[in-house]
């Protein structure tokens, strides 16, 4: 996993103060990273327009132009005079190179966005909106310096944003990249070294980006084994029986030696057991999927006594607060369910739109109050909160936007819990496996839940 930062200002300050670098060195290395990205896409005589702002993000762009003049056909669009000292200095250097400045944008091979970067605050004026809208239409390849213009430091978009094919991340990964809104604008992220190694530049962060390397699949390392060695996962049936069947199938496919559905359910698959009480050897539970009107049938004493995954209709149950006090629980809400959860716990009343904009902060708020509960908030990017830290999974695709996908995930987490994974490890690995399985399904629209079950068997 990789560190992610809400603000890298302190990292830059440390690089300057502790390692005697200067802002000018940092900007030169930023431009070097931009140049390498452009070299991937440009050919001889490619026309490249660099759009520069008034601050140090603009200085990155002006420095880039200095490095590229003579190598490619470089045009600079600078809608306002530079304000930062480094921008002014780079502008003077460019004049000595007879750089070409243009007063309007036109079609080109590559457009480089150095308008705002991480310096963007508030909303865009009409002039900047028009500039960004034009930038989005003129080039074959769009490259953003640091953060695509129009995206705020918390990943929100006021009205329009630069639609990057590639975002060059200066120094370290920014939290702005990983909001649900930003996902469609960031493109490929390339990290750039600003003059010292990542090991020296970075500090530990409470925000972590998950990668495929963080996936820990179940391993059956002994051959002298039986089904009881690999856990007994139980899925509690609700009114909508299909949900519990999907969870049970995914739990079985993801390694549990035994899987039981508890409740009155018809047409249970032949390899899934059915019972009306909790088996003595049950060591993980999934509950809430498709629960519906059967919610009053259960007294919930079993939840938290052994590792439990709670999903769906349980997030509207007033008993949830008392259940969470037991600990030993993973919660898997989507945005609307997360809204209900926060209200039930007295953490605030927020609509889904507000939660979408502030999901990470609200997940941290929950984690501060319930540090021993794992919270998995589903979305375009999944957010996992535990013990004051945030883990971000960006690997899921939009083909997961289908009924039943969440039931599959709940079963997968419960399966790993039954195989003695910790709450956090089960949540991280199941979330990653769920996402990677979606990548292996070659359709953006036709995914069915059982497709996921088949793919997780192959990971």
- Are 14 and 163 within one domain? yes
- Are 269 and 380 within one domain? yes
- Are 251 and 156 within one domain? no
Residue finishing a domain among 173, 206, 239: 206
- Are 188 and 149 within one domain? yes
CB 114 within 8 A of CB 61: yes
- Are 176 and 309 within one domain? no
pLDDT for position 119: 65
Residue finishing a domain among 206, 233, 257: 206
- Spatial strand order of the sheet with 108-114 comes to 101-102, 73-77, 47-52, 108-114, 139-145, 166-170, 188-192
- Are 186 and 237 within one domain? no
Phi/psi-derived region of residue 60, left when phi > 0, alpha when psi is between -120 and 50, beta in every other case: alpha
Residue finishing a domain among 186, 206, 226: 206
- Rounded to whole angstroms, the Cα distance separating 402 from 242 reads 14
- Rounded to whole angstroms, the Cα distance separating 448 from 299 reads 33
Structural domain range at position 429: 213-456
- Are 201 and 218 within one domain? no
- Rounded to whole angstroms, the Cα distance separating 339 from 382 reads 16
Secondary structure class of 405 (helix, strand, coil)? helix
- CATH code at 223? 3.40.1190.20
In DSSP terms, 285 is beta-bridged to: 234, 308
- Are 346 and 298 within one domain? yes
pLDDT for position 117: 80
State the CB neighbour count (10 A cutoff) for residue 301: 10
The token pair at 211 is 């990668």
- Are 194 and 269 within one domain? no
- Are 136 and 285 within one domain? no
- Are 132 and 256 within one domain? no
- Rounded to whole angstroms, the Cα distance separating 371 from 388 reads 6
Indicate the pTM of the whole model: 0.94
Low-confidence ranges of the chain (pLDDT < 50): none
- For the chain, what is the domain count? 2
- Are 160 and 292 within one domain? no
pLDDT for position 66: 96
pLDDT for position 300: 81
């Amino acid at each position: 996993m990789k560190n992610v930062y809400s603000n890298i200002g302190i990292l830059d300050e440390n690089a300057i103060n502790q390692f005697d670098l200067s802002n000018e060195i940092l900007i030169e290395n930023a431009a070097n990273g931009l140049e390498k990205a452009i070299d991937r896409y440009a050919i001889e005589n490619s026309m490249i327009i660099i759009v520069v702002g008034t601050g140090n993000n603009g200085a990155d762009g002006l420095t880039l132009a200095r490095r590229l003049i003579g190598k490619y056909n470089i045009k600079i669009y600078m809608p306002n005079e530079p304000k930062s000292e480094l921008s002014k200095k780079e502008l003077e250097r460019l004049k000595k190179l007879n750089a070409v400045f243009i007063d309007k944008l036109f079609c080109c091979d590559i457009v480089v966005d150095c308008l705002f970067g991480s310096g963007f605050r508030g909303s865009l004026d009409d002039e900047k909106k028009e500039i960004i809208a034009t930038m989005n239409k003129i080039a074959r390849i769009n490259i953003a310096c640091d953060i695509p213009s129009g995206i705020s430091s918390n990943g929100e978009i006021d009205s329009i944003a630069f639609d990057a094919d590639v975002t060059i991340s200066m120094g370290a990964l920014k939290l702005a990249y990983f909001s649900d809104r930003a996902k469609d604008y960031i493109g490929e992220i390339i990290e750039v070294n600003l003059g010292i190694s990542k090991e020296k530049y970075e500090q530990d962060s409470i925000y972590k980006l998950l990668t495929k390397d963080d996936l820990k699949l179940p391993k059956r390392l002994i051959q002298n084994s039986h089904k009881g060695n690999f856990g007994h996962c139980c899925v509690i049936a609700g009114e909508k029986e299909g949900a519990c069947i999907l969870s049970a199938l995914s739990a079985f496919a993801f390694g549990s030696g035994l899987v039981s559905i508890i409740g009155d359910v018809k047409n249970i698959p032949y390899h899934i057991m059915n019972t009306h009480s909790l088996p003595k050897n049950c060591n993980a539970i999934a509950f809430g999927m498709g629960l519906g009107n059967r919610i009053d049938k259960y007294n919930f004493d079993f939840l938290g006594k052994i590792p439990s995954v709670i999903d769906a209709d349980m997030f509207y149950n007033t008993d949830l607060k008392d259940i969470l006090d037991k600990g030993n629980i993973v919660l898997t809400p989507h945005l609307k369910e997360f809204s209900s959860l926060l209200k039930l716990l007295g953490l605030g009343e927020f609509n889904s739109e507000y939660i979408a904009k502030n999901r990470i902060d609200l997940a941290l708020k929950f984690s501060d109050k319930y540090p021993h509960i794992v919270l998995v908030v589903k979305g375009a990017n999944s957010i996992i909160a535990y013990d004051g830290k945030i883990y971000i999974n960006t690997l899921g695709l939009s083909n997961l936007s289908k009924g039943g996908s969440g039931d599959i995930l709940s079963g997968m987490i419960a399966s790993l819990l039954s195989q003695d994974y910790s709450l956090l490890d089960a949540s991280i690995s199941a979330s990653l496996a769920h996402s990677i399985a979606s990548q292996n399904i070659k359709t953006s629209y036709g995914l069915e839940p059982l497709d996921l079950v088949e793919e997780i068997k192959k990971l």
